[in-house]
Amino acid sequence: MARNNNTNSDRGGLGLGWWVSGGLLVVLIVGIIVGVVLWPRDTTAAPDETAPPTTRPTSTAPTESATQAGTTCETNNADQSVPTEAPETTWKTHPFQVLVPTSETYGPSTQDGNLWSCFERSPTGAVFAGPNLLSAISMGEDDAAVPGPGRDDMLETNAGASADFERPVFEGFRVLATDENAATIDYWVTAGGQNISMGLDLVWDEEAADWRLNLETPGDHPRVGVLEDTAPYVRWR
Protein backbone atom coordinates (compact mmCIF):
# COMPACT_ATOMS: atom_id res chain seq x y z
CA MET A 1 0.00 0.00 0.00
CA ALA A 2 1.16 3.51 -0.68
CA ARG A 3 1.79 5.45 2.46
CA ASN A 4 -0.48 8.48 2.61
CA ASN A 5 1.29 11.66 3.62
CA ASN A 6 -1.74 13.94 3.43
CA THR A 7 -5.20 12.49 3.62
CA ASN A 8 -6.91 15.87 3.84
CA SER A 9 -6.58 17.36 0.38
CA ASP A 10 -7.20 21.09 0.11
CA ARG A 11 -8.63 20.90 -3.39
CA GLY A 12 -12.18 20.88 -2.11
CA GLY A 13 -14.58 20.10 -4.95
CA LEU A 14 -12.59 21.89 -7.63
CA GLY A 15 -11.42 18.83 -9.53
CA LEU A 16 -13.05 20.15 -12.70
CA GLY A 17 -9.92 20.59 -14.76
CA TRP A 18 -9.04 18.66 -17.91
CA TRP A 19 -5.86 18.30 -19.84
CA VAL A 20 -7.36 19.49 -23.10
CA SER A 21 -6.64 21.31 -26.33
CA GLY A 22 -3.04 20.14 -26.25
CA GLY A 23 -2.76 21.69 -22.78
CA LEU A 24 -4.26 22.00 -19.33
CA LEU A 25 -7.68 23.65 -19.02
CA VAL A 26 -7.94 24.80 -15.44
CA VAL A 27 -11.49 25.51 -14.35
CA LEU A 28 -11.54 28.09 -11.61
CA ILE A 29 -14.71 28.80 -9.63
CA VAL A 30 -14.75 32.45 -8.59
CA GLY A 31 -18.44 33.30 -8.46
CA ILE A 32 -18.72 31.88 -11.98
CA ILE A 33 -16.69 29.22 -13.83
CA VAL A 34 -13.66 30.78 -15.50
CA GLY A 35 -11.48 28.74 -17.86
CA VAL A 36 -7.76 29.42 -17.81
CA VAL A 37 -5.97 27.71 -20.71
CA LEU A 38 -2.37 26.66 -20.25
CA TRP A 39 0.67 25.12 -21.90
CA PRO A 40 1.23 26.15 -25.53
CA ARG A 41 2.43 23.91 -28.28
CA ASP A 42 2.69 26.50 -31.04
CA THR A 43 4.95 29.38 -30.13
CA THR A 44 8.06 31.05 -31.45
CA ALA A 45 9.14 32.72 -28.23
CA ALA A 46 11.67 30.68 -26.28
CA PRO A 47 10.71 30.25 -22.62
CA ASP A 48 12.81 31.72 -19.86
CA GLU A 49 15.28 29.00 -18.95
CA THR A 50 17.04 30.84 -16.16
CA ALA A 51 17.76 28.11 -13.64
CA PRO A 52 16.20 28.60 -10.18
CA PRO A 53 18.50 28.65 -7.13
CA THR A 54 18.29 24.86 -6.76
CA THR A 55 19.40 24.16 -10.32
CA ARG A 56 22.51 24.00 -12.42
CA PRO A 57 22.37 26.23 -15.51
CA THR A 58 22.32 24.18 -18.68
CA SER A 59 21.65 24.43 -22.37
CA THR A 60 18.12 23.59 -23.53
CA ALA A 61 19.51 21.09 -26.05
CA PRO A 62 20.32 17.82 -24.28
CA THR A 63 23.91 16.72 -24.67
CA GLU A 64 24.83 13.19 -25.61
CA SER A 65 25.74 12.38 -22.02
CA ALA A 66 22.48 13.85 -20.72
CA THR A 67 20.38 12.03 -23.28
CA GLN A 68 22.06 8.69 -22.65
CA ALA A 69 22.69 9.07 -18.92
CA GLY A 70 21.89 5.75 -17.31
CA THR A 71 21.36 2.45 -19.03
CA THR A 72 18.17 1.43 -17.25
CA CYS A 73 15.13 3.17 -15.80
CA GLU A 74 14.95 1.00 -12.70
CA THR A 75 17.27 1.82 -9.81
CA ASN A 76 17.72 -0.81 -7.11
CA ASN A 77 18.05 0.31 -3.50
CA ALA A 78 16.95 3.86 -4.32
CA ASP A 79 16.19 6.14 -1.40
CA GLN A 80 12.46 5.76 -0.67
CA SER A 81 12.18 8.78 1.62
CA VAL A 82 9.78 11.55 0.67
CA PRO A 83 11.66 14.70 -0.44
CA THR A 84 11.28 17.55 2.04
CA GLU A 85 13.39 20.03 0.09
CA ALA A 86 13.86 20.80 -3.58
CA PRO A 87 16.17 18.31 -5.29
CA GLU A 88 18.91 19.59 -7.57
CA THR A 89 17.04 20.27 -10.81
CA THR A 90 17.79 21.34 -14.36
CA TRP A 91 14.81 22.84 -16.21
CA LYS A 92 14.64 22.01 -19.91
CA THR A 93 12.19 22.80 -22.68
CA HIS A 94 10.19 19.74 -23.64
CA PRO A 95 9.08 19.47 -27.31
CA PHE A 96 5.63 20.44 -26.00
CA GLN A 97 7.20 23.85 -25.28
CA VAL A 98 6.90 23.71 -21.51
CA LEU A 99 9.73 23.73 -18.99
CA VAL A 100 10.03 20.36 -17.28
CA PRO A 101 12.31 19.24 -14.43
CA THR A 102 15.23 16.93 -15.18
CA SER A 103 17.96 15.38 -13.08
CA GLU A 104 20.99 13.19 -13.71
CA THR A 105 20.00 11.20 -10.63
CA TYR A 106 16.20 11.01 -10.85
CA GLY A 107 15.57 11.23 -14.61
CA PRO A 108 14.50 11.41 -17.31
CA SER A 109 17.65 9.62 -18.44
CA THR A 110 16.25 9.30 -21.97
CA GLN A 111 15.44 12.66 -23.54
CA ASP A 112 14.74 11.70 -27.12
CA GLY A 113 11.56 12.49 -29.08
CA ASN A 114 8.40 13.44 -27.20
CA LEU A 115 8.49 10.77 -24.50
CA TRP A 116 11.20 11.68 -22.03
CA SER A 117 11.51 8.64 -19.80
CA CYS A 118 13.58 6.48 -17.44
CA PHE A 119 13.03 7.78 -13.92
CA GLU A 120 14.36 6.49 -10.64
CA ARG A 121 12.05 4.11 -8.79
CA SER A 122 11.62 6.41 -5.82
CA PRO A 123 9.25 9.13 -4.58
CA THR A 124 11.60 11.78 -5.97
CA GLY A 125 11.76 9.96 -9.29
CA ALA A 126 7.96 10.05 -9.40
CA VAL A 127 7.99 13.79 -8.69
CA PHE A 128 10.19 14.33 -11.76
CA ALA A 129 8.13 11.93 -13.87
CA GLY A 130 4.80 13.72 -13.52
CA PRO A 131 5.42 16.90 -15.58
CA ASN A 132 7.47 15.01 -18.18
CA LEU A 133 4.85 12.31 -18.75
CA LEU A 134 1.99 14.82 -18.81
CA SER A 135 3.81 16.76 -21.54
CA ALA A 136 4.38 13.55 -23.48
CA ILE A 137 0.78 12.40 -23.45
CA SER A 138 -0.29 15.88 -24.51
CA MET A 139 1.64 15.21 -27.71
CA GLY A 140 -0.13 11.90 -28.27
CA GLU A 141 2.47 9.61 -26.71
CA ASP A 142 0.28 6.76 -25.45
CA ASP A 143 3.23 5.08 -23.72
CA ALA A 144 3.25 7.93 -21.18
CA ALA A 145 0.32 6.30 -19.37
CA VAL A 146 -0.81 2.76 -18.54
CA PRO A 147 -3.44 1.40 -20.95
CA GLY A 148 -7.09 1.91 -20.17
CA PRO A 149 -10.22 3.96 -20.91
CA GLY A 150 -8.84 6.99 -19.06
CA ARG A 151 -5.77 7.10 -21.26
CA ASP A 152 -7.86 6.64 -24.40
CA ASP A 153 -10.17 9.49 -23.41
CA MET A 154 -7.26 11.86 -22.78
CA LEU A 155 -5.58 10.97 -26.08
CA GLU A 156 -8.84 11.53 -27.96
CA THR A 157 -9.40 14.88 -26.26
CA ASN A 158 -5.87 16.07 -26.96
CA ALA A 159 -6.04 14.94 -30.60
CA GLY A 160 -8.64 17.60 -31.43
CA ALA A 161 -6.96 20.35 -29.48
CA SER A 162 -6.03 23.87 -30.40
CA ALA A 163 -2.45 25.00 -29.93
CA ASP A 164 -2.32 28.55 -28.55
CA PHE A 165 -1.81 28.49 -24.81
CA GLU A 166 -0.08 30.28 -21.98
CA ARG A 167 2.72 28.36 -20.32
CA PRO A 168 2.32 27.31 -16.69
CA VAL A 169 5.19 27.22 -14.26
CA PHE A 170 5.81 24.38 -11.82
CA GLU A 171 6.53 26.14 -8.54
CA GLY A 172 6.45 23.29 -6.06
CA PHE A 173 5.18 19.85 -5.12
CA ARG A 174 4.08 17.63 -2.29
CA VAL A 175 3.96 13.86 -2.19
CA LEU A 176 0.55 12.80 -0.91
CA ALA A 177 1.06 9.03 -1.05
CA THR A 178 3.89 6.80 -2.21
CA ASP A 179 5.57 3.44 -2.22
CA GLU A 180 7.77 1.63 -4.76
CA ASN A 181 4.77 0.84 -6.96
CA ALA A 182 2.57 3.94 -6.93
CA ALA A 183 2.64 7.63 -6.12
CA THR A 184 0.21 10.53 -5.88
CA ILE A 185 1.89 13.90 -6.39
CA ASP A 186 0.23 17.29 -5.95
CA TYR A 187 1.98 20.06 -7.90
CA TRP A 188 1.80 23.77 -7.23
CA VAL A 189 1.47 25.47 -10.61
CA THR A 190 1.14 29.14 -11.45
CA ALA A 191 -0.55 30.57 -14.54
CA GLY A 192 -2.44 33.74 -15.33
CA GLY A 193 -1.60 35.14 -11.91
CA GLN A 194 -3.28 32.18 -10.19
CA ASN A 195 -1.90 29.53 -7.86
CA ILE A 196 -3.26 26.17 -8.94
CA SER A 197 -3.16 22.71 -7.42
CA MET A 198 -2.64 19.89 -9.94
CA GLY A 199 -2.75 16.29 -8.75
CA LEU A 200 -1.37 13.31 -10.69
CA ASP A 201 -1.41 9.57 -10.04
CA LEU A 202 1.57 7.49 -11.17
CA VAL A 203 2.28 3.78 -11.16
CA TRP A 204 5.49 1.78 -11.65
CA ASP A 205 5.16 -0.18 -14.90
CA GLU A 206 7.11 -3.42 -14.50
CA GLU A 207 7.21 -4.06 -18.24
CA ALA A 208 8.60 -0.62 -19.03
CA ALA A 209 10.65 -0.56 -15.80
CA ASP A 210 9.59 3.06 -15.44
CA TRP A 211 6.99 5.39 -13.98
CA ARG A 212 3.80 5.94 -16.00
CA LEU A 213 0.72 8.11 -15.51
CA ASN A 214 -2.25 6.24 -14.06
CA LEU A 215 -5.35 7.80 -15.62
CA GLU A 216 -7.59 4.91 -14.57
CA THR A 217 -8.23 6.05 -11.00
CA PRO A 218 -11.62 7.68 -10.23
CA GLY A 219 -12.10 11.37 -10.95
CA ASP A 220 -10.57 13.89 -13.32
CA HIS A 221 -7.01 13.72 -14.59
CA PRO A 222 -5.23 15.82 -13.69
CA ARG A 223 -7.16 16.98 -10.62
CA VAL A 224 -6.98 20.76 -10.51
CA GLY A 225 -8.30 23.50 -8.29
CA VAL A 226 -7.63 26.97 -6.92
CA LEU A 227 -4.74 26.85 -4.46
CA GLU A 228 -5.20 29.07 -1.41
CA ASP A 229 -2.26 27.96 0.72
CA THR A 230 1.15 27.14 -0.73
CA ALA A 231 2.79 26.50 2.66
CA PRO A 232 2.48 22.66 2.53
CA TYR A 233 4.41 22.47 -0.74
CA VAL A 234 8.14 22.02 -1.26
CA ARG A 235 9.10 25.10 -3.25
CA TRP A 236 10.82 23.96 -6.42
CA ARG A 237 11.69 27.26 -8.08
Residue-wise DSSP of 110-129: B--SS--B---SSHHHHHHH
For the residues 192-205, what does the mean pLDDT come to?
A: 95
Name the residue range of residue 150's domain.
Answer: 3-39+51-235
Q: Is 104 contained in some domain?
A: yes
Q: Is 46 contained in some domain?
A: no
Q: How would you classify the pairing of strands 223-226 and 194-205? A: antiparallel
The C-alpha atoms of residue 68 and residue 49 are separated, in whole angstroms, by: 22
Q: Is 44 contained in some domain?
A: no
- The three-state secondary structure class of 203 is strand
Question: How many separate domains does the chain show?
Answer: 1
Q: How many CB atoms lie within 10 A of CB 213?
A: 25
For the residues 14-41, what does the mean pLDDT come to?
A: 35
Residue 15 pLDDT: 31
Residue 179's nearest CA partner among 123, 110, 96, 237 is 123
Q: Is 58 contained in some domain?
A: yes
Residue 168 pLDDT: 84
Residue 72 pLDDT: 53
Q: Is 217 contained in some domain?
A: yes
For the residues 87-111, what does the mean pLDDT come to?
A: 95
For the residues 95-114, what does the mean pLDDT come to?
A: 94
Q: Is 45 contained in some domain?
A: no
Residue 85 pLDDT: 97
Q: Is 62 contained in some domain?
A: yes
Better pLDDT: 32 or 66: 66
